[in-house]
Amino acid sequence: MIGAIIALLVVVAAAYAVTQIGGVITLLFVAAVLFLAYRRLSLLVFTVTFTVLLALYTTAGAPAGIWKGLLWVLLAGLWLLNLRPLRKSLITRPFLGAYLRLLPSMSQTEREALEAGTVWWDGELFTGAPQWQKLLAARPPRLSPEEQAFLDGPCEELCRMLDEWHITHERADLPPEAWQLLKTRGFFAMIIPKKYGGMEFSAYAHSCVLAKISSRSPTAASNAAVPNSLGPAELLNHYGTEAQKNYYLPRLARGDEVPCFALTGPRAGSDAASIPDTGIVCRGMWQGEEIVGLRLNFSKRYITLAPVATVIGLAFRMFDPDKLLGGKTDIGITVALIPRNTPGITIGRRHFPLNVPFQNGPIQGRDVFVPLDFIIGGTAMAGSGWRMLVEQLSVGRCISLPSNTTGAAKAGVWATGAYARIRSQFNTPVGRFEGVETVIARMVGLTYTMDAGRSVTAGAIDGGEKPSVPSAMLKYHVTEMGRQVGNDAMDVHGGKGIMLGPRNYLARGYQVTPVAITVEGANLLTRNLIIFGQGAIRCHPFVLREMTAARDPDRAKGVDEFDRALFGHIGFTISNAVRSFIMALTHARFTRAPVAGETARFYQHIVRFSASFAFAVDVAMLTLSGYLKKKEGLSARLGDVLSCMYLASMVLKHHLNQGAPEEDLPVVEWACRNLLYHAQEQLHGFLRNFPNRALAAVMRGLIFPRGLVYSAPGDRLAHRVAALVTASTPARERLCAGIYRTLEPNNPLGLLEEAMVLAEQLEPLLKRIRVEGVKTGKVTALDLPGQISQALGAGIVSETEAAALRDYDRKTMDLINVDDFASEELGTQAQPIAAAQSRPHVA
């Protein structure tokens, strides 16, 4: 309503202003031209339509003088631009020269990262006019009967045998039977094709398995994720020689081999392409024969599964100083598979990642000599290691961490919703206090967003996409949201979350959060450098085309393609500026949405942000060029806007995939409002920090002509959202589907659900005791067991009712109680000095 009033006022004001230069007819003319720009016509169609409009405008009484003259000059210019040969020699060629000088240099590794994967819905969001059908037409991800049976069978069995306190505090490892199950029942073979004995699961099934394990044990989930992520199996699948595949894949599938993947070292972390580890082509002895092979020297750290690995996927830089292979001396990053027992390798010691003792440790190699056919893909793939890694990361990064984090968040919501119902203070379940509701609602909204992102993107992978930019967005945002959900779960649980011991079901998940934040591209780097840095070039409809054309060695072809891209780009930018302004002014009320009903407005807002974002990106790239890469604060904020649009789209699609249940609408609304608000704030932050203040002011006028109109989810909405998970509702079931919540003695998730259901059922009885007993003075005891006895004695409750209440109280207190220890039970018997002395030398 306010939007419509403002739009009307703007129209009236504009009409008044133009009376000075020709009246309402001028306003109509300008509106028609803006409409053409909004509709994004081709240059020729625009020029022809503009000619007709101008002719009509002139004959209808356009004011004479400079205004009319300018319009005719503009028309002449437009016609000239349609003459491509003229345009190329007068504009494109000179511009191309300047463009080439400004074009930032790009290393081979950067180029390979850019070219990895496919462009999917992320590309649509860069257009300013996303075509929803491309997203909505995709089939919802589904599990095959075989995949479902795996989740209900071996996965359930594994979860049952995991006791996180025993694993983290007493054993510092998984129990042997869990290792056995992981290795022999296919947990390490989810991505290995069936013909090699693997499970060949869909990306969605793979994600569901990890999410379920993670809801039970972060330690087991970390161990299980790695063999299915970037590592030997994945690399062999895509790049291995037939001999390598035939040898290793069945062994990996059976669990005869345990893989690890070693890239990171003490000197190369985030800047992984700078690894100093070397593989020198030379002659050496191998199994009694002299052969040409590789002499490897390396020092790696933080390598998951290294202490127990039997085969190491090793990344190193390969050199051929004596040109034994006949080509370059600096061959580049290469990946090889090295058996653990190869002479020269030191392996087996462990790091201790934040009290969650999944297997992780350093590996060193000194003068390790191996044959050349240890290189994955053989010598043909020597030097292609970086491309292999980034290509595989575009899929793996969408699955491992997003799935593990989402599984843990679902478990957190499941537990917290129930706990907030059974834990009462001030005679009220804590989940009914507004302040707690707000926090629970945030947990629910974020978890829904995470689940939507991971499942819809996994579905896209199963449809053939390798979404490299979404993989970075998911990695960053899902793990950051997981961190927030973990913090919130701890707050709602109070001291119960803090006291470590067998009864604590939250703390290890909370402790391990920074691991997800750090691995597979640490989050600061991912947000500041990768999401937008890669996305801007990879997804933009014109930028990569322009760059490729500019560098085309065939000059004539390059100029021709550059010319098309450049003028397409100019029209695109103008159109997005107009679209941004009009949609911002009308609050996207007249924008087409692909669905009707309560969610339609969110689709409209995403389109509006898409236009504003695309316009801001073009201004930033045009004016800051290579400097934008250094201005990490700006690119991070643009990346946030892109991610918010992406995740909001995932939320809407996820809701449709689940059959658009009406009951979930408050959660969808919470998630979309949160993301749109965040998108607004980040776009605003971008404008506030944009170095050219005059341009920032122009952009602000076109992007936020009505100011900042989006607000964060409110208290009433939070109340509705929190109510969905603090009682047993279908929405709670849907949101937390797939976690390990079987009702059994050692599973807090099952027990919490049981207690919550009892709380709901017994609420009328408890109320009766309060009203008829406590308020009348017949019941004076201060604790519930005493009150139950007195109520029974006073005839307020029956024997059966009293028994049910006692059972409820016992079960609830079992969950609320925490552990305590004798002093001597805490601490370890370790000898730290002796351990330090035995530590091997690390380069």
Ligand X SMILES: Cc1cc2nc3c(=O)[nH]c(=O)nc-3n(C[C@H](O)[C@H](O)[C@H](O)COP(=O)(O)OP(=O)(O)OC[C@H]3O[C@@H](n4cnc5c(N)ncnc54)[C@H](O)[C@@H]3O)c2cc1C
Contact positions toward ligand X, by CB under 6 A?
226, 261-264, 269-270, 302-304, 353, 360, 515, 518-519, 522, 524-525, 528-529, 632
User: For residue 791, what are the contacts with CB-CB under 8 A and spacing of at least 6?
Assistant: 768, 769, 772, 773, 778, 779, 797, 802
- Asked if 228 and 191 count as a contact pair (C-beta separation under 8 A), the reply is yes
The Cα 236–Cα 246 span in angstroms is 10
Minimum CB–partner distance for residue 622 and ligand X (Å): 23
CA distances to 252, 284, 376, 720, 825 from 296, rounded to whole Å, are 24, 12, 15, 60, 46
Minimum CB–partner distance for residue 356 and ligand X (Å): 9
Minimum CB–partner distance for residue 402 and ligand X (Å): 16
DSSP assignment, residue 274? G
The Cα 510–Cα 507 span in angstroms is 5
Minimum CB–partner distance for residue 617 and ligand X (Å): 19
CA-based R_g, the chain, Å: 31
The Cα 392–Cα 184 span in angstroms is 25
- Asked if 460 and 649 count as a contact pair (C-beta separation under 8 A), the reply is no
Minimum CB–partner distance for residue 448 and ligand X (Å): 27
Total length of the chain: 843
Closest CB to ligand X among 512 and 797?
A: 512
Closest CB to ligand X among 187 and 615?
A: 187
The Cα 682–Cα 27 span in angstroms is 34
Q: Is 345 strand, coil or helix?
A: strand
Q: Sign (positive/negative) of CA torsion 403, 407, 409, 413?
A: positive
* Measured distance between the N- and C-terminal CA atoms of the chain, rounded to whole angstroms: 67
Closest CA to 70 of 33, 24, 17: 33
Return the structure tokens found at 595. 């669905």
Minimum CB–partner distance for residue 723 and ligand X (Å): 38
- Asked if 647 and 121 count as a contact pair (C-beta separation under 8 A), the reply is no
CA distances to 606, 664, 733 from 140, rounded to whole Å, are 21, 17, 18
Closest CA to 313 of 250, 390, 376, 223: 376
Closest CB to ligand X among 235 and 262?
A: 262
Closest CB to ligand X among 263 and 792?
A: 263
Closest CB to ligand X among 407 and 639?
A: 639
Closest CB to ligand X among 259 and 459?
A: 259
Please list the active-site residues: 520
Closest CB to ligand X among 127 and 468?
A: 468
Which residues, listed in sequence order, are joined to residue 303 by a DSSP beta bridge?
361
- Ranked by CB distance to ligand X, the top (closest) residue is 269
The Cα 700–Cα 706 span in angstroms is 10
